Amino acid sequence: MSEPAKRVVIVGAGMAGVQTAVALREQGYGGGITLIGAEPHPPYDRPPLSKALLLGKADSSAFDVDFAALDVELRLGLEVTGLRAGDHEVDTAGGPVPYGVLVLATGAEPVALPGTEGMPGVHALRTLDDAERLRPVLARRQSIVVVGAGWIGAEFATAAREAGCEVTVVEAADRPLAGALPAEVTGPMAGWYAESGAELLTHARVAAVEPGSVVLADGRSLSAEAVVVGIGARPATAWLAGSGIALGPDGSVTADERLRASLPDVYAVGDCASFPSARYGGRLLVHHWDNALQGPRTVAAQVLGETERVYDPVPYFWSEQFGRFVQYAGHHAAADALIRRGDPEGVAWSAVWLRDGVLVALLAVGRPRDLAQGRKLIEAGARMDPGRVADPSVPLRGAVV
């Protein structure tokens, strides 16, 4: 007789954790599965939090997953506080939980604005409870200061303007998305804020948040009935301190190409894990929905013994902001050429990155066909004709050489 399958314990009930449980069952895993979530709510999807749910257009974003039918034990509202790998146990507020295989899927947590932790009227937007606290703010059309012009800041500002709120976005850098994309791409995006009626202040650092106002380092005071902070996120891995799990400088679990952590029988997936990419020649930490969807399939395969499968995806994400659908595929950091397709002052354009003539990344604004074709071409390592790439009338697949 074969040995019974080890119990898989998944810490984190977001997209990555839920999809790991689903993938295990889909790939034929017959052992026990326990899914532990710190929040008391049924597991839910995050993208609607900054869109339909925030605006009151949807009442729920719970995953359409029948956990009982999958024979997955859900333990919700349970905080995991530590890992004792030698005992094959995780410590929780409800006592130790033994595992045969452990999957770390704890996601990321928002970076707080120093000095504002726990301050009334200061919000993040990461969880369902965050969205529920912000819904009445939008419903009352309060004046809002958004700190940070990144992806979440832009999406929240979009929703707040749609709700009729007065919105000011303050950004310490010289442009939106400064930490994510080069100036040649993000420069035109600054105008999107004004088009929507939001005010964007760049080179603006917050000195203090006071009742009813945000004080900037240059002395300006901005009226604010509410403050929303979107200055980044870090892997939620502090609970692993002292466990023996290797963490990177960014706090991520340093998984290998098969998403194995540094200790036996432990895997890491989603926003809490970085992984080496042979495709891009470096370690990637991808805080986006598609990574949390795709990675679990590799983890499930590893648990089931398909040890040759490696994880080296073409990263992909999207953002809906200021009436535009923005999509990105690939990783542009190692590119040596940037080519525009269309007028960035217009409603539809793309930016294409090449490395030694090979397509490595693409940003599409209102050009979904560019993204769909470009994503496949990146996966194929296609070599491109720069002149034809620059002609927006030529389909990207028609620019392959």
pLDDT tens, 277-322?
999 999 999 999 999 999 999 999 999 999 888 999 999 999 999 9
What pTM does this model have?
0.94
Choose between 336 and 184: higher pLDDT. 336
Is 235 exposed, middle or buried, given 0-12, 13-18 or 19+ CB atoms closer than 10 A?
Answer: buried
Query: Is the Cβ–Cβ distance between 161 and 196 less than 8 Å?
Result: yes
CATH no., domain 8-109+233-303: 3.50.50.60
Cite the DSSP H helix spans in 275-355.
289-303
Ranges 177-181, 264-268, 323-327, 350-354: which has the least confidence: 177-181
Average pLDDT over residues 62-73: 97
Parse the chain into domains and list their residue ranges: 8-109+233-303, 112-229, 323-399
CATH architecture of 323-399: 2-Layer Sandwich (3.30)
Band the pLDDT of 4: cuts 50, 70, 90.
low
Cα of 388 vs its chain's centroid, Å: 33
The answer, yes or no, to whether residue 12 has pLDDT greater than 70, is: yes
Q: What one-character-per-residue DSSP string does 139-171 give?
A: HTT--EEEE--SHHHHHHHHHHHHTT--EEEE-
Top-level class of domain 112-229: alpha beta
User: Which is more confidently placed, 1 or 347?
Assistant: 347
Q: Looking at residues 133-141, what average pLDDT do you find? A: 95
Higher pLDDT, 172 or 3: 172
**Average pLDDT of the chain, as a whole number:** 95
Query: Do 8-109+233-303 and 112-229 agree at the fold level?
Result: yes
Residue 47 pLDDT grade (very low, low, confident, very high; cuts 50, 70, 90): confident
pLDDT, residue 179, reads: 87
What is the pLDDT, as a whole number, of residue 3?
Answer: 53
- Average pLDDT on 132-156 reads 95
- Helix, strand, or coil (residue 277): strand
Q: What is the mean pLDDT of residues 103-125?
A: 94
Residue type, 4: P
CA distance 135 to 163: 10
Integer Cα distance of 48 and 62 in angstroms: 10
Q: 221 near 215, Cβ under 8 Å?
A: yes
SS3 201: strand
The amino acid sitting at 153 is G
Other Cβ atoms closer than 10 A to 116: 19
Neighbours of 31 (CB within 10 A): 16
**Per-residue pLDDT tens over the stretch 20-31:** 999 999 999 999
pLDDT number for residue 1:
31
Residue 368 in 3-state DSSP? helix
Q: How far is the CA of 358 from the CAs of 265, 350, 351, 380, 394, in angstroms?
A: 38, 16, 14, 10, 17
pLDDT reading at 17 higher than 60: yes
For residues 42-66, b (16+ Cβ closer than 10 Å) or e, as one string? bbbbbbbbbbebbbeeeeebebebe
